[in-house]
């Protein structure tokens, strides 16, 4: 049996994060941070809904998926030979699921913008370098070019949450 | 889309996966409500319990529960030798992708399906 209770809990938190991102007056970096949180938890909810058995106990799935801020990127970039069979098949299921969205690029970008300390990477949380100068997430004005317009990103995340809710409902119904 | 078409679409999607070569896919146990696929994936690590399928729930894009017996050639061949039912089912399965590799796998499986039938026959 898939772990639909845990999937539901992850999805509820994803929806709560999504609501925060919609607060009027929310600075753009913060809105995008909460959208990333929503994506991360929605993908994890999908993982729990999709797999039967106890995927939580698979250390490869824990290391490359459940304990990551950027589960899609981390699992997608993993060397297949370093993963367990379950992790490889979860990887494939997640990639195919995200591929089915017209907004897949936005979802991939949101996922890939993780809480990185690497100054070369755009971050929602820590200062980083652009054109050899330090900037902060609050000051950064390249979000649209980097990730897509905020409205477009919100739409992508809204569709993702709806699709994950459908997947959980189908799993529960069966 | 009927069941066969959905399965073919899924197998085609698996075959297109980036960074994941698939040599063959064989649909076995076709009388089951769920769908059971055997997939030869050379990039996967060795697996000494390959005959235990990984089960994934039905979803919007694929409406059947999916049982996957997937792994590299060495693991699959060892699994076939260990599990006579798997050998029989692969031998009788329908190849949906990679005809040549599928036939090789079925020929190998037939040896063990037959060996067991002779022993118990």
Domains of chain A, start order:
4-114+149-173 (1.20.120)
Q: Examine the pLDDT at A163 and tell me if it is beyond 80.
A: yes
Tell me the average pLDDT across A130-144: 93
Q: A82 CB near a chain B CB, below 8 Å? A: yes
Q: A92 CB near a chain B CB, below 8 Å? A: yes
Query: Could you tell me if the ipTM is greater than 0.95?
Result: no
Kind and range of the H or E run holding B28: strand B24-28
With contacts defined as CB-CB under 8 Å, which chain B residues touch A84? 45
Asked whether the beta carbons of A119 and A128 are under 8 A apart, the reply is: yes
Tell me the average pLDDT across B105-118: 84
Q: How far apart are CA A107 and CA A171, in angstroms?
A: 23
Q: Which tens digits make up the pLDDT trace of A4-43?
A: 899 999 999 999 999 999 998 999 999 999 999 999 999 9
Does A89 sit within 8 Å of B17, measured CB to CB?
no
Distance between A23 CA and the closest CA of chain B, angstroms: 31
Q: Examine the pLDDT at A58 and tell me if it is beyond 60.
A: yes
Strands (E), A64-169: 128-130, 133-135
What pLDDT score does A53 carry?
58
pLDDT tier at A75 (50, 70, 90 boundaries)?
confident
DSSP string, A137-153: TTT---HHHHH--HHHH
Q: How far apart are CA A106 and CA A98, in angstroms?
A: 10
What pLDDT score does B116 carry?
59
Distance between A1 CA and the closest CA of chain B, angstroms: 8
Q: Coil, helix or strand for B44?
A: coil
Q: A163 CB near a chain B CB, below 8 Å? A: yes
With contacts defined as CB-CB under 8 Å, which chain A residues touch B45? 80-85
Tell me the average pLDDT across A43-67: 79
Q: A165 CB near a chain B CB, below 8 Å? A: no
What pLDDT score does B117 carry?
59
What pLDDT score does A108 carry?
93
Does A81 sit within 8 Å of B59, measured CB to CB?
no
Distance between B34 CA and the closest CA of chain A, angstroms: 12
Domains identified in chain B and CATH numbers: 3-120 (3.30.460.10)
* Sign of the dihedral through C-alpha A55, B68, A104, A76: positive
Find tokens 């050899």 and name the residue. Answer: A132
Residue A131 gets the label, from left (phi > 0), alpha (psi -120 to 50) or beta, of left
What pLDDT score does A1 carry?
62
What pLDDT score does B73 carry?
97
pLDDT tier at B121 (50, 70, 90 boundaries)?
very low
Q: How far apart are CA A169 and CA A157, in angstroms?
A: 18
Asked whether the beta carbons of A55 and A20 are under 8 A apart, the reply is: no
């Amino acid at each position: 049996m898939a772990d639909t209770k845990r999937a539901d809990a992850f999805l509820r938190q994803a929806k709560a994060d999504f609501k925060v991102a919609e607060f009027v007056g929310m600075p753009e970096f913060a809105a995008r941070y909460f959208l990333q949180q929503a994506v991360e938890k929605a993908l994890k909810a999908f993982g729990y809904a999709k797999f039967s058995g106890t995927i939580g106990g698979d250390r490869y799935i824990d290391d490359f998926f459940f304990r990551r801020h950027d589960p899609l990127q981390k699992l997608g970039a993993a060397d297949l030979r370093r993963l367990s069979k379950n992790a490889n098949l979860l990887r494939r299921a997640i990639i195919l699921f995200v591929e089915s969205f017209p907004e897949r690029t936005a979802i991939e970008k949101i996922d890939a913008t993780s809480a990185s300390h690497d100054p070369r990477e755009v971050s929602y949380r820590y200062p980083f370098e652009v054109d050899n100068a330090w900037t902060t997430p609050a000051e950064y004005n390249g979000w649209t070019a980097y990730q897509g317009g905020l409205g477009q990103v919100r739409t992508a995340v809204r569709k993702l949450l709806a699709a994950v809710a459908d997947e959980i409902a189908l799993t529960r119904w069966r | 889309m009927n069941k066969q078409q959905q399965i073919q679409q899924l197998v085609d999607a698996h075959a297109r996966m980036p960074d994941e070569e698939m040599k063959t896919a064989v649909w076995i146990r076709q009388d089951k409500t769920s769908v059971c696929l055997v997939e030869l994936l050379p990039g996967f690590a060795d697996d000494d319990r390959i005959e235990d399928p990984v089960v994934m729930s039905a979803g919007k894009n694929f409406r059947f529960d999916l049982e996957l017996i997937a792994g590299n050639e060495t693991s699959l061949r060892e699994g076939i030798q260990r599990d006579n039912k798997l050998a029989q089912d692969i031998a009788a399965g329908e190849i949906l992708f990679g005809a040549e590799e599928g036939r090789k796998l079925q020929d190998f499986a037939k040896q063990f399906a037959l060996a067991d039938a002779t022993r118990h026959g």
